[in-house]
A and B are shown apart, each in its own frame.
Chain A
Amino acid sequence: MTNQLRFMAFAFGFLVLSVPLFAHHGAASYDTGKPITVTGTVTEYIWTNPHVLLKLDVKGDSGDITHWVVEAWNPVTQKSRGWTKDTFKPGDEVSAEIAPAKNKQPVGEVRGRIMINGKEFKQNAG
């Protein structure tokens, strides 16, 4: 009984540790260990190779606007995550969890949760 319990504890512990994350191709350029959330208004959504790009105007505390570019993978991979060429439209209010550029430029890579106009955009694990 004790051995069975030990095995179950190990199995569940392994399960906790092996949560899959979105694979990050740009690990060299992006701070994947320190994701941030950017919130802004969509100005452009480009459904193209090599990477789908989402452009956001993000308002700072003093009202200044920063033009952010957030990249995802190619359209085929994004489609398997549940994205389409119509997922975002200019004017949408978007919050996205991203890995920001290490050089502090307003560029990031999609990492996790995305909200569109206040609703969570449910993505597939892909």
Chain B
Amino acid sequence: MSNRLVVWIMMVMAAWVTSPLLRAQTAAPKAAADEAKPEKWNNIPPPRSGYKNKKPSGTAPRRDISGIWDSAQSLGTSGAPEHVALLPGGRGQEGGHPDETGIAKPLPYTPAGLAALKANHPSGPGVRQVDAALSNDPADKCDPLGFPYMFLWEFRTINVVQTPRQVVMLSPFYGNYRVIWTDGRELPKDPDPRYNGYSVGKWVDDYTFVVETTGLNPRSWIDHAGRPHSDQLQVEETYHRVSLDTIEYTMKITDAKMYTEPWLADDKLPLHLMPPDFDIPELLCSPSEFGDYNNQVGGVVIRDPSQK
């Protein structure tokens, strides 16, 4: 076959593959007079592909991470983005594995950590997924997500407010908020556990904000793949504002009871600045709505009814 013919065939195949995507991206919304105006409420952030090759629009302000920041669909349905509970190539979404043997980037569990992992039955796509109605994730009963689960599952768009003594982060998913003290106080020693823990933050340079969190309630999981933590969990976050419109977000997990060494849950995850009038949609967890769902769908599709 001639080279020219091969190239032509490849180009036709590529066009055939990408044309539905192009149509989807440029599809006009339903024709209605009031939908022609830009929406003021319940805004949708740009897709991840919208940032490819996008140049920064300006330099970062000093010591400032306030604003509305979007993670471009970092949904974490298979667990922390740096360690998804999937086999290489993204396979293994159907569950059926007793542990995480063979996943692309395994975690360094201690024996206690592995035992705790196996006791957690996650509902998100992954090698250990169970039918949704059989999940024992407290979050699936609308229990508080806690930290760091609130940033490792459905991160979406958060609102960061900076005051002289605090950085307050508001997350729409489950209506979470967390307070990071910047008044120089030290972390508490041996505190009563809290779902959102205790956080202090400081600027290590004009564009890098580092947060330490301790005192986390082990009742909530680390992520949607059922990764466990003990009361010894320490979370270190780095918010590196690399330009006016981008923060690179890194999260490090340290928990010697569960993991033999620290690991990164997020590694320079880009957070993108939204316009100041961006209205973040609500995504609250309602126990009664979840109950209705399980009655109509979740409980109906259980494969082995004796497990109900």
Contact = CB atoms under 8 A, between A and B. Distances in A.
A74 B289 CA distance: 12
B181 to A, nearest CB: 31
Contacts of B42: 76, 79
Contacts of B302: 29, 103
Nearest to A1: B3
B289 A50 contact: yes
Q: Which range contains the number of B residues in contact with the other chain?
A: 35 or more
Given A23-B125, A49-B284, A50-B290, A28 B47 contact: no
B156 to A, nearest CB: 8
B183 interface: no
A76 B283 contact: yes
A123 B292 CA distance: 27
Interface string B279-308: 001011110011011001100111100000
Interface stretch (B17-25, B212-220, B226-234, B250-258): B17-25
A122 B132 contact: no
Contacts of A13: 10
Contacts, number: 118
Nearest to B305: A103
Contacts of B21: 19-20, 125
Interface residues of A, number: 44
Nearest to B22: A125
B95 interface: yes
A9 B129 CA distance: 37
B68 to A, nearest CB: 15
Given A101-B301, A126-B47, A50 B296 contact: no
A36 to B, nearest CB: 15
B59 to A, nearest CB: 31
A31 B283 CA distance: 28
A5 B297 CA distance: 50
B119 interface: no
Given A12-B14, A123-B24, A125-B25, A48 B289 contact: yes
B13 interface: yes
Dominant SS among interface residues on chain B: loop
Contacts of A20: 21
Interface in B269-283: 281, 283
Given A29-B131, A82-B27, A49 B286 contact: yes
Interface string A2-13: 100100110011
Interface in A11-38: 12-13, 15-16, 19-20, 23-30, 32
Given A25-B125, A29-B303, A53 B297 contact: yes
Interface string A68-87: 01010011100110101000
Given A30-B301, A74-B283, A24 B10 contact: no
Contacts of A125: 21, 24-25, 47
B77 A23 contact: yes
Given A16-B14, A125-B21, A24 B125 contact: yes
- Lowest 7 CB-CB distances: which A-B pairs, in order? A12-B10, A29-B301, A27-B93, A122-B27, A28-B95, A101-B301, A27-B94
Interface of B: 3, 6-7, 10-11, 13-14, 17-18, 21, 23-25, 27, 29-30, 42, 44, 47, 75, 77, 93-96, 123-125, 129-132, 156, 281, 283-286, 289-290, 292-293, 296-297, 300-303
Interface of A: 1-2, 5, 8-9, 12-13, 15-16, 19-20, 23-30, 32, 48-51, 53, 69, 71, 74-76, 79-80, 82, 84, 101-103, 105, 107, 122-126
